[in-house]
Amino acid sequence: MHILFTRPLDDSRELILKFRNLGHKVSHMPVIQIEKVEHEKINFLDYKAIIFTSANALKFLDTKLIDKKIICFCVGNSTEKKALSFGFQNVIAAEGNVRNLKELILQNFNSSDGKMLYVSGEVITNDLDKNLISLGFNVRRIINYTSKPNDQLDEIFIENLRLNMPDIVYIYSQNSAISFLKLIDNYKLNDLWMNTNLMCISEKSSTVLNKIKWKKIFIFSPGEEEFLLYKI
Protein backbone atom coordinates (compact mmCIF):
# COMPACT_ATOMS: atom_id res chain seq x y z
CA MET A 1 0.00 0.00 0.00
CA HIS A 2 0.95 3.63 -0.47
CA ILE A 3 0.78 5.54 2.84
CA LEU A 4 1.01 9.29 3.33
CA PHE A 5 2.13 10.80 6.65
CA THR A 6 1.48 14.48 7.32
CA ARG A 7 3.21 15.17 10.65
CA PRO A 8 6.61 16.87 10.90
CA LEU A 9 9.50 14.49 10.20
CA ASP A 10 10.57 14.20 13.86
CA ASP A 11 7.11 12.90 14.72
CA SER A 12 6.81 10.64 11.67
CA ARG A 13 10.28 9.13 11.33
CA GLU A 14 9.66 6.01 13.42
CA LEU A 15 6.43 5.10 11.63
CA ILE A 16 7.90 5.86 8.21
CA LEU A 17 10.74 3.40 8.85
CA LYS A 18 8.38 0.83 10.35
CA PHE A 19 5.95 0.88 7.43
CA ARG A 20 8.73 0.80 4.84
CA ASN A 21 10.18 -2.25 6.59
CA LEU A 22 6.73 -3.84 6.28
CA GLY A 23 7.00 -3.39 2.53
CA HIS A 24 4.77 -0.36 2.03
CA LYS A 25 5.48 2.70 -0.08
CA VAL A 26 5.57 5.69 2.27
CA SER A 27 5.36 9.37 1.35
CA HIS A 28 5.85 12.31 3.68
CA MET A 29 3.97 15.60 3.27
CA PRO A 30 4.36 17.71 6.43
CA VAL A 31 1.38 20.05 6.58
CA ILE A 32 2.46 21.87 9.75
CA GLN A 33 5.69 22.89 11.44
CA ILE A 34 6.18 22.96 15.20
CA GLU A 35 7.73 26.01 16.85
CA LYS A 36 8.78 26.72 20.42
CA VAL A 37 6.76 29.20 22.49
CA GLU A 38 8.44 31.12 25.29
CA HIS A 39 6.67 30.86 28.65
CA GLU A 40 7.05 32.15 32.16
CA LYS A 41 9.60 30.54 34.46
CA ILE A 42 8.42 27.39 36.21
CA ASN A 43 9.35 26.33 39.72
CA PHE A 44 9.02 22.59 39.26
CA LEU A 45 9.34 22.00 43.00
CA ASP A 46 5.80 23.37 43.34
CA TYR A 47 4.33 20.38 41.53
CA LYS A 48 3.72 16.76 42.45
CA ALA A 49 2.84 15.56 38.95
CA ILE A 50 3.36 16.66 35.38
CA ILE A 51 1.14 15.93 32.38
CA PHE A 52 2.21 15.60 28.73
CA THR A 53 -0.25 14.97 25.91
CA SER A 54 2.36 15.34 23.17
CA ALA A 55 6.00 14.44 22.68
CA ASN A 56 6.51 17.99 21.43
CA ALA A 57 5.72 19.33 24.91
CA LEU A 58 8.72 17.37 26.19
CA LYS A 59 10.89 18.34 23.25
CA PHE A 60 10.53 22.06 23.97
CA LEU A 61 10.70 21.87 27.78
CA ASP A 62 13.90 22.44 29.75
CA THR A 63 13.78 19.33 31.91
CA LYS A 64 17.16 19.72 33.63
CA LEU A 65 15.64 21.19 36.81
CA ILE A 66 12.85 18.62 37.10
CA ASP A 67 13.11 15.80 39.63
CA LYS A 68 12.87 12.79 37.32
CA LYS A 69 11.06 10.85 40.05
CA ILE A 70 8.02 13.11 39.72
CA ILE A 71 4.83 11.37 38.59
CA CYS A 72 4.67 11.85 34.84
CA PHE A 73 1.35 11.25 33.07
CA CYS A 74 1.49 10.74 29.29
CA VAL A 75 -0.86 9.79 26.50
CA GLY A 76 0.37 7.70 23.59
CA ASN A 77 3.39 5.52 22.98
CA SER A 78 5.55 8.23 21.40
CA THR A 79 5.02 10.59 24.34
CA GLU A 80 5.81 7.82 26.81
CA LYS A 81 9.01 6.94 24.93
CA LYS A 82 10.07 10.58 24.85
CA ALA A 83 9.50 10.95 28.62
CA LEU A 84 11.53 7.83 29.33
CA SER A 85 14.32 9.04 27.03
CA PHE A 86 14.46 12.28 29.04
CA GLY A 87 15.04 10.24 32.20
CA PHE A 88 11.62 10.33 33.85
CA GLN A 89 11.37 7.31 36.09
CA ASN A 90 7.74 7.35 37.20
CA VAL A 91 5.89 7.42 33.88
CA ILE A 92 2.23 6.43 33.79
CA ALA A 93 0.94 6.27 30.22
CA ALA A 94 -2.53 5.92 28.76
CA GLU A 95 -3.20 4.38 25.39
CA GLY A 96 -5.58 6.03 23.02
CA ASN A 97 -6.64 9.56 23.79
CA VAL A 98 -6.87 12.31 26.39
CA ARG A 99 -10.14 10.92 27.76
CA ASN A 100 -8.28 7.72 28.64
CA LEU A 101 -5.52 9.80 30.20
CA LYS A 102 -8.02 11.65 32.38
CA GLU A 103 -9.35 8.34 33.73
CA LEU A 104 -5.80 7.17 34.37
CA ILE A 105 -5.04 10.33 36.34
CA LEU A 106 -8.18 9.87 38.43
CA GLN A 107 -7.10 6.32 39.22
CA ASN A 108 -3.54 7.22 40.22
CA PHE A 109 -3.62 10.74 41.65
CA ASN A 110 -5.85 12.46 44.21
CA SER A 111 -6.72 16.14 44.22
CA SER A 112 -5.24 16.30 47.74
CA ASP A 113 -1.86 14.97 46.53
CA GLY A 114 -0.73 18.40 45.34
CA LYS A 115 -0.47 20.66 42.31
CA MET A 116 -0.21 19.34 38.77
CA LEU A 117 1.58 20.94 35.81
CA TYR A 118 0.11 20.41 32.34
CA VAL A 119 2.55 21.20 29.51
CA SER A 120 0.92 21.42 26.08
CA GLY A 121 0.72 23.08 22.71
CA GLU A 122 -1.24 26.22 22.01
CA VAL A 123 -4.17 24.34 20.47
CA ILE A 124 -5.64 21.33 22.23
CA THR A 125 -8.70 19.29 21.29
CA ASN A 126 -9.66 18.41 24.84
CA ASP A 127 -9.58 20.81 27.82
CA LEU A 128 -7.94 18.31 30.16
CA ASP A 129 -6.86 20.97 32.64
CA LYS A 130 -10.35 22.48 32.91
CA ASN A 131 -11.91 19.03 33.29
CA LEU A 132 -9.54 18.18 36.13
CA ILE A 133 -10.02 21.58 37.80
CA SER A 134 -13.80 21.02 37.74
CA LEU A 135 -13.16 17.84 39.71
CA GLY A 136 -11.20 19.67 42.40
CA PHE A 137 -7.65 19.28 41.08
CA ASN A 138 -5.12 22.12 41.18
CA VAL A 139 -3.77 22.22 37.62
CA ARG A 140 -1.64 24.85 35.89
CA ARG A 141 -1.34 24.72 32.12
CA ILE A 142 1.82 25.93 30.39
CA ILE A 143 1.98 26.38 26.60
CA ASN A 144 5.47 25.76 25.23
CA TYR A 145 4.92 25.11 21.52
CA THR A 146 2.62 25.99 18.66
CA SER A 147 1.98 24.74 15.14
CA LYS A 148 2.22 26.80 11.98
CA PRO A 149 0.77 25.72 8.63
CA ASN A 150 3.05 24.87 5.75
CA ASP A 151 1.88 26.76 2.68
CA GLN A 152 4.29 25.38 0.10
CA LEU A 153 5.16 21.92 -1.13
CA ASP A 154 7.82 20.64 -3.50
CA GLU A 155 6.46 20.71 -7.07
CA ILE A 156 8.13 17.42 -7.99
CA PHE A 157 6.53 15.79 -4.94
CA ILE A 158 3.11 17.09 -6.02
CA GLU A 159 3.51 15.74 -9.56
CA ASN A 160 4.56 12.34 -8.22
CA LEU A 161 1.59 12.38 -5.87
CA ARG A 162 -0.79 13.04 -8.76
CA LEU A 163 0.62 10.00 -10.57
CA ASN A 164 0.46 7.73 -7.51
CA MET A 165 -2.18 8.77 -5.00
CA PRO A 166 -1.95 7.16 -1.54
CA ASP A 167 -4.20 4.40 -0.27
CA ILE A 168 -4.09 5.89 3.25
CA VAL A 169 -3.57 9.37 4.69
CA TYR A 170 -2.99 9.95 8.42
CA ILE A 171 -4.12 13.26 9.96
CA TYR A 172 -3.11 13.90 13.57
CA SER A 173 -4.82 17.16 14.59
CA GLN A 174 -7.51 19.63 13.64
CA ASN A 175 -4.82 22.17 12.69
CA SER A 176 -3.23 19.57 10.43
CA ALA A 177 -6.59 18.92 8.79
CA ILE A 178 -7.09 22.64 8.12
CA SER A 179 -3.59 23.00 6.67
CA PHE A 180 -3.98 19.82 4.58
CA LEU A 181 -7.22 21.14 3.11
CA LYS A 182 -5.63 24.46 2.16
CA LEU A 183 -2.65 22.76 0.55
CA ILE A 184 -4.62 20.37 -1.61
CA ASP A 185 -6.90 23.23 -2.60
CA ASN A 186 -3.92 25.41 -3.56
CA TYR A 187 -2.37 22.62 -5.62
CA LYS A 188 -5.70 21.58 -7.20
CA LEU A 189 -5.68 18.09 -5.68
CA ASN A 190 -9.24 18.19 -4.34
CA ASP A 191 -10.80 15.60 -6.65
CA LEU A 192 -8.13 12.91 -6.48
CA TRP A 193 -8.91 11.20 -3.16
CA MET A 194 -11.90 8.95 -3.92
CA ASN A 195 -9.74 5.82 -3.66
CA THR A 196 -7.90 6.98 -0.53
CA ASN A 197 -8.79 6.07 3.05
CA LEU A 198 -8.62 8.97 5.51
CA MET A 199 -7.39 8.21 9.04
CA CYS A 200 -8.16 11.03 11.48
CA ILE A 201 -7.20 11.49 15.11
CA SER A 202 -10.62 12.92 16.02
CA GLU A 203 -14.12 13.68 14.78
CA LYS A 204 -13.17 17.38 14.68
CA SER A 205 -10.34 16.62 12.28
CA SER A 206 -12.50 14.48 10.01
CA THR A 207 -15.24 17.13 9.92
CA VAL A 208 -12.76 19.61 8.45
CA LEU A 209 -12.06 17.20 5.58
CA ASN A 210 -15.62 16.01 4.94
CA LYS A 211 -15.91 18.22 1.85
CA ILE A 212 -13.43 15.93 0.08
CA LYS A 213 -14.69 12.66 -1.36
CA TRP A 214 -12.82 9.80 0.36
CA LYS A 215 -13.09 6.04 -0.02
CA LYS A 216 -13.65 5.68 3.75
CA ILE A 217 -12.97 7.72 6.87
CA PHE A 218 -11.68 6.15 10.10
CA ILE A 219 -11.11 7.66 13.55
CA PHE A 220 -8.02 6.32 15.30
CA SER A 221 -5.86 6.80 18.37
CA PRO A 222 -2.06 7.12 18.33
CA GLY A 223 -0.51 3.67 18.29
CA GLU A 224 -3.24 2.16 16.10
CA GLU A 225 -1.67 3.10 12.76
CA GLU A 226 -0.52 -0.42 11.86
CA PHE A 227 -3.74 -2.02 13.13
CA LEU A 228 -5.75 0.18 10.77
CA LEU A 229 -3.99 -1.33 7.76
CA TYR A 230 -5.94 -4.51 8.34
CA LYS A 231 -9.32 -2.76 8.52
CA ILE A 232 -9.36 -1.55 4.93
Q: Can you give the CATH number for the domain in which 86 is found?
A: 3.40.50.10090
Same domain, yes or no: 41 and 57: yes
Q: CA-CA distances (angstroms) from residue 171 to 4, 139, 150, 181, 200?
A: 9, 29, 14, 11, 5
Contact 51, 126 (CB under 8 A): no
- The domain in which residue 174 lies consists of 2-31+150-231
Residue 111 and residue 186 share a domain: no
pLDDT one-digit tens code per residue, 28-66: 999 999 999 999 889 999 999 999 998 899 999 998 889
Burial track 117-143 (b if 16+ CB lie within 10 A, e otherwise)? bbbbbeebbbebbeebbeeebebebbb
Residues 102, 17 share a domain = no
Confidence at residue 202, expressed as pLDDT on a 0 to 100 scale: 86
pLDDT at 95 over 90: no
Q: Are residues 182 and 215 in the same domain?
A: yes
Q: Domain check: are 117 and 139 in the same one?
A: yes
Question: Residue 65's pLDDT is what?
Answer: 86
Identify whether residues 44 and 142 lie together within a single domain. Answer: yes
Last residue of a domain, one of 99, 127, 147: 147
Q: What is the mean pLDDT of the chain?
A: 92
Same domain, 18 and 120: no
* Same-domain pairing of 58 and 86: yes
Which of 93, 120, 147 is the C-terminal boundary of a domain?
A: 147
Across 209-215, average pLDDT: 95
Contact of 5 with 27, CB cutoff 8 Å: yes
3-state SS, residue 173 = coil
In terms of domains, do 157 and 223 share one? yes
User: What's the mean pLDDT in 100-108?
Assistant: 95
Query: Per residue in 173-196, pLDDT tens?
Result: 888 999 999 999 999 999 999 999
What is residue 229's predicted lDDT score, i.e. its pLDDT?
A: 83
Short-list 113, 74, 114, CA closest to 90: 74
Section 11-34 average pLDDT = 94
User: Where would I find the beta strands (DSSP E) of the chain?
Assistant: 2-5, 25-28, 32-36, 49-52, 71-75, 90-94, 116-121, 139-149, 168-171, 197-200, 216-219
Residue where one domain finishes, among candidates 100, 128, 147:
147
Overall number of domains in the chain: 2
Regarding whether 173 and 216 lie in a shared domain, the answer is yes
